[in-house]
């Protein structure tokens, strides 16, 4: 079995994001980026299947600007055999929709005959949670979403026939760290560059962002002295019975 794993470069999960003053998006320049945490889990699962000799080859895939190569090197250091970078300009990258990513994945899968595609259940930047089921729809493959356990290609209590698309939930596994020797080795592994136009994917946007704003701020109400005061306050508001 050959597995394609979709990985995305996103603003690191620990970063407190800032909305741009002109409301066009969030600040990404000079901000720590890393591999989307759910994709790390998807990758780990694929590498584990390879270690169990259930998969023959694990190929990492990323669609994005030039810096997406960084997450692909990370994927190689964590055990992927090779990587495919579908290249778009940084300007286009900001407008790429999950549908476009799914279409690019579809083209690669059909060209290179993969048996399974693993993706994270969602990217922590757009929170769309669409790429897995979009791809499964395009390929007309079964989908096992939010997988928390994988046994020989079946997931949890759902049995899907290969080829299939799987999306990884947090609890699927604990991703490994890339060790220094593996990071060095990863530099020698093949990383193939594919300009998006070679795949014939139309990046025409269907969704335009009109405005990005901060969520309404909640004001802290302060501390209450003790339990009786707390209960009294809640009774006052009619939230608990008097």
Buried-exposed string 40-65: b where 16+ CB fall within 10 A, e elsewhere? bbbbbbbbbbbeeeebebbbbbbbbb
DSSP of 22-48, one letter per residue? Answer: TSSSB--TT--EEE-HHHHHHHHHHHH
Residue among 201, 40, 214, 17 nearest 120 (CA)? 40
Least separation in angstroms between CB 182 and another protein: 26
Least separation in angstroms between CB 76 and another protein: 26
Least separation in angstroms between CB 64 and another protein: 17
Cβ closer to another protein: 184 or 212? 212
Cβ closer to another protein: 149 or 187? 149
Least separation in angstroms between CB 82 and another protein: 27
Cβ closer to another protein: 157 or 177? 157
Residue 144 CB: number of other CB atoms within 10 A?
Answer: 22
Determine the 3-state secondary structure of 219 from DSSP.
Answer: coil
Least separation in angstroms between CB 21 and another protein: 13
Buried-exposed string 198-210: b where 16+ CB fall within 10 A, e elsewhere? ebebebeeeeeee
DSSP character for 54?
A: S
Least separation in angstroms between CB 23 and another protein: 9
d(CA 17, CA 27) in angstroms, rounded, equals 7
């Amino acid at each position: 079995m050959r597995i394609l794993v979709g990985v995305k470069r996103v603003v690191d999960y620990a970063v407190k994001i800032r909305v741009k003053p002109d409301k066009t998006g969030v600040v990404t320049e000079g901000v720590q980026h890393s591999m989307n945490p759910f994709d790390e889990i998807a990758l780990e699962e694929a590498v584990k299947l390879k270690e169990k000799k259930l998969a023959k080859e694990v190929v990492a895939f990323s669609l994005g600007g030039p810096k997406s190569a960084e997450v692909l090197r990370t994927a190689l250091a964590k055990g992927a055999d090779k990587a495919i970078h579908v290249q778009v300009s940084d300007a286009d990258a900001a407008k790429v929709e999950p549908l476009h990513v799914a279409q690019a994945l579809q083209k690669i899968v059909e060209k290179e005959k993969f048996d399974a595609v693993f993706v994270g259940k969602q990217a922590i930047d757009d929170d769309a949670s669409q790429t897995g089921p979009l791809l499964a729809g395009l390929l007309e493959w079964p989908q096992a979403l939010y997988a928390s356990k994988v046994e020989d290609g079946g997931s949890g209590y759902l049995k899907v026939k290969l080829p299939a698309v799987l999306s990884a939930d947090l609890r699927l596994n604990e991703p490994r760290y890339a060790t220094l020797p593996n990071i060095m080795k990863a530099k020698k592994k093949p990383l193939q560059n594919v300009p998006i136009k070679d795949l014939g994917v139309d990046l025409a946007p269907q969704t335009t962002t009109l405005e990005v704003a901060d969520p309404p701020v909640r004001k802290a109400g302060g501390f209450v002295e003790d339990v009786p005061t707390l209960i009294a306050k809640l009774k006052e508001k009619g939230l608990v019975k008097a």
